[in-house]
Structure 1
């Protein structure tokens, strides 16, 4: 469907080149996928008796399976029957999705419902400001599952600069985000409790290095799985970020102080955390080669029983415990223990993974019916089709519970439907059906406690033109100097000098002002 603004595609053509440079992969999209868009005259369909005709609409989203779901898939048909819809789905390989999305957006021939993997990309941000997509905020209250089944955090953090929601977030759990995981059996052996402060965390690291927590009589254990990832935009300080954030109480790089947005490098607590980490390195409580270690290497060290403290989600338990039990048959599931808070802080996730948007070329009545399809699909009796498929084909019932035929589910690519609509189990980051009841109960309790104090990254989605240009280089200098201070190559006074320079830096001052205005607009201040 054409978006009706002939100048918009040309104006955005150059933007797509910049966006594409951000790094999509280059696998080809699968052949045989549905192409094009349904015409607007199909609209919301024609009524037949008391029931309106199914709403016909086009969809574009990605897929992760070996092959995309076929158009005549019986599970898709069952979803369409339950939601009174007919979906013409264009499946695009996840490896190639960003490139395909950018080309589609710039072309103006946009499907009726489209997955936007980054709602704050240059192209989508520009198109929403041009009025190319529906502002869904005024309508969402009419759809109880969409309004209450997706977290407030996700709705808040997907607002654009004008404070409006131009898409439906694809929900993910917002609580129980990655934080510290500690070997509870090691704590018991060294006579310590799970840490609740950074001082207690330090005592745990020290005991794990010096007091033989694995009981083998050898000094072969590490204190903390420390690493940095300077090339990672969202977490360049790697696992050390979680220590720093526990000092600042801030999730991310920007703090709202009630009047303005402040880059955390200017906070005195960052210096305190740097002194703390430097001391830990000097006392050999973190790996000597932390600056070059990869997260995968540290995960392997945890599996091998050399580490008892790392940053992970409780819901990853199975990735570690099976290997640990081969080394130590006495280790229990509940020994994969999630720390609740440090200094009263733990991080909250953004609560979404991409968004589903509807272009303004879709008539209002049809847009509302598409939202109704999504809302109905979120009902448990309908959404279970995504999870279990069809009885007798993809699962059978035993004692009233579905037993899934995994091979058939994979063969029919049933999970692909989650790339259009998903209902997030609020405990999905913590509990799993194959964990022991004891660990699931523990993880749920910890998550409930975390939810009382968890902190979201409020800077997500805020736009500063100056930050786009200047902040990457500034943050590179910050990470480089932090690393040198930790390694003892620079004194802590070097950090003081940099912080003082940043405080007076024109770019830092300007981006702080822009971030402040962006936050106020989104928050309606």
Structure 2
């Protein structure tokens, strides 16, 4: 995860250091505010909320979906909706001011501003309380809870869950494999043989030599683009670019791994043998996707559940195509990536008394009940959805007008199969995609470096990554020999700054994990 810092966020950090003392001091000021802070049979819990708005206009206070959620959770929500375009700036100003709402969406838990707020005691450590709320335990993955821990190994917010499994990985044209009598590849050697056949043996049976094995692109000097997944299949590290892997109890930079060298030889051979688009290094993501949508490429990096757009276009080219022909690979060399399982989190400031904090946790837990979360999923019966043959049929346009999806920015429940299946796929396809996801779960690997803080990394890693990516690009394109990589790695192993980055990342991992790295 690459962290971006604007000038405003840096200024916010400085202002925050001066203002947070007032936040901590204010902890007692609200103790008597809102006598409904205790549990029991008292009236609705009044909760001020600040969150992200992604739609054109916010839900009004008398919005029917909002009122239904309030009734179900015994709450009264005072929501401050902030446009997603400037939410980060607004959040920084709010944190620095010390006047923080009872429940606030933290879109990136790892900014220096939020880290400083946590360090200064501005937010509740929720770690001791989570066990008392069943939905917070069962409907948010262990991966999400682990990767949102701060540097002291504690959780200062509730992760906003996303499916952790079936993250973006290789999806292959199964019909092309069948046309050539090939098996689904599970190793990079087998993948190479498949790509070679896709390039040379007319897999679409149109009688032309016009097919491309992999819909690949790259972002020099930023990152490896599609080719990162091939590199990861060699290293076993879940990273988008040249970053970090846990090896023998130490966080090391993947550039130093011998498997990275092997992946570069593999990729250079792919380019030399024309298994990559000739102009892959200058293609954009959308252009690579168009190669697949246009029936020219046989492999793409995607999630199974995102394939409907491709299917609609390819069906016009080949009417015999089936959704099952978009076949997600289970693993490559025993590896496949696990998603982080979260997108930001919601946090409670220490200015909220403990009794009220517990009621807010109870409100969120209740909100995650299936029947309550369904309110924002489907809306109001007869207005946003109708029931046909026992199934809810949603008018998505009306639901959007009624702001149903906006409430996902506060509380969300992730379908564990949401990355793999969709209602518009036939049962056969969804059953296949679920089966493959279950298999992937056995070997999926999370990026353990997410959220780890190292001041040296913040300062020096971008320049190091730029050099790494520049050399990788040249080697793949044949402009530099592989020995240039050997020379680079030999020098990097003696780099005191890189060693310091590795040590700080290892220390951060050990602290977050509550002990020695495993």
Counterpart-to-counterpart distance in 1, 2:94 and 2:12: 13
Q: CA deviation at 1:407?
A: 2.5
Does residue 238 of structure 1 match 2:225? Answer: yes
Counterpart-to-counterpart distance in 1, 2:460 and 2:229: 24
Counterpart-to-counterpart distance in 2, 1:420 and 1:168: 10
Does residue 368 of structure 1 match 2:364? Answer: no
Which residue of 227, 230, 238 corresponds with 1:251?
238
Does residue 352 of structure 1 match 2:357? Answer: no
The structure-2 alpha-carbon separation of the partners of 1:46 and 1:348, relative to structure 1 and needing over 3 Å to count, comes to closer
- Tell me what 1:142 maps to: 132
TM-score by length of 1: 0.91
Q: CA deviation at 1:15?
A: 7.0
- Tell me what 2:36 maps to: 45
The more displaced of 162-171 and 190-199 is 190-199
1:373-419 Cα deviation digits (max 9, x unpaired)? 00000110111001111112211111221111222212111110101
Counterpart-to-counterpart distance in 2, 1:147 and 1:396: 32
C-alpha contact (below 8 Å) 1:42/1:56 kept by paired residues: no
Counterpart-to-counterpart distance in 2, 1:18 and 1:486: 41
Other structure's SS at 2:137 match? helix
Counterpart-to-counterpart distance in 2, 1:19 and 1:288: 46
- List aligned pairs for 1:276-315, cutoff 5 A: 276-315=266-305
Q: CA deviation at 1:326?
A: 0.3
Counterpart-to-counterpart distance in 1, 2:450 and 2:38: 43
Other structure's SS at 2:132 match? coil
Counterpart-to-counterpart distance in 2, 1:86 and 1:42: 14
Counterpart-to-counterpart distance in 2, 1:231 and 1:490: 16
Q: CA deviation at 1:134?
A: 0.4
The more displaced of 394-403 and 194-203 is 394-403
The structure-2 alpha-carbon separation of the partners of 1:41 and 1:441, relative to structure 1 and needing over 3 Å to count, comes to same
1:90-143 Cα deviation digits (max 9, x unpaired)? 001111111111111111111110011110001001110111100000000010
- Tell me what 1:326 maps to: 316
The structure-2 alpha-carbon separation of the partners of 1:16 and 1:47, relative to structure 1 and needing over 3 Å to count, comes to closer
Which residue of 223, 228, 235 corresponds with 2:218?
228
Counterpart-to-counterpart distance in 2, 1:427 and 1:291: 33
Other structure's SS at 2:80 match? strand
Counterpart-to-counterpart distance in 2, 1:287 and 1:19: 45
Counterpart-to-counterpart distance in 2, 1:455 and 1:137: 24
- Tell me what 2:394 maps to: 404
The structure-2 alpha-carbon separation of the partners of 1:518 and 1:14, relative to structure 1 and needing over 3 Å to count, comes to same
- The list of structure 1 runs, each at least 4 consecutive aligned residues, that deviate by more than 3 angstroms after superposition, is 17-20, 38-44
- Tell me what 1:16 maps to: 9
Other structure's SS at 1:255 match? strand
- Tell me what 1:502 maps to: 492
**Alignment length (residue pairs):** 493
The structure-2 alpha-carbon separation of the partners of 1:322 and 1:283, relative to structure 1 and needing over 3 Å to count, comes to same
1:248-283 Cα deviation digits (max 9, x unpaired)? 111122121232111110000000000000000000
Q: CA deviation at 1:41?
A: 3.5
Counterpart-to-counterpart distance in 2, 1:231 and 1:278: 17
Other structure's SS at 1:427 match? coil
Counterpart-to-counterpart distance in 2, 1:15 and 1:41: 34
The structure-2 alpha-carbon separation of the partners of 1:14 and 1:64, relative to structure 1 and needing over 3 Å to count, comes to closer
Q: CA deviation at 1:183?
A: 0.4
C-alpha contact (below 8 Å) 2:159/2:342 kept by paired residues: yes
- Tell me what 2:180 maps to: 190
C-alpha contact (below 8 Å) 2:474/2:480 kept by paired residues: yes
Counterpart-to-counterpart distance in 2, 1:183 and 1:415: 33
1:469-510 Cα deviation digits (max 9, x unpaired)? 110000111011000001111000000111111111111000
Other structure's SS at 1:51 match? coil
Does residue 213 of structure 1 match 2:203? Answer: yes
1:178-208 Cα deviation digits (max 9, x unpaired)? 0000000011111111110000111111111
Counterpart-to-counterpart distance in 1, 2:37 and 2:421: 45
1:293-348 Cα deviation digits (max 9, x unpaired)? 11100111111000110111001111200000000001111001100000110000
Counterpart-to-counterpart distance in 2, 1:315 and 1:140: 31
Aligned residues: CA RMSD: 1.8
Counterpart-to-counterpart distance in 2, 1:46 and 1:356: 19
C-alpha contact (below 8 Å) 1:43/1:363 kept by paired residues: no
Counterpart-to-counterpart distance in 1, 2:11 and 2:475: 35
- Tell me what 1:28 maps to: none
Q: CA deviation at 1:423?
A: 0.3
Counterpart-to-counterpart distance in 2, 1:284 and 1:89: 55
Counterpart-to-counterpart distance in 1, 2:468 and 2:116: 30
Does residue 79 of structure 1 match 2:72? Answer: no
C-alpha contact (below 8 Å) 2:30/2:353 kept by paired residues: no
TM-score by length of 2: 0.93
Other structure's SS at 1:344 match? coil
Counterpart-to-counterpart distance in 1, 2:132 and 2:274: 58
Which segments of 5 or more consecutive residues in structure 1 lack a partner in the other structure? 1-12, 21-37
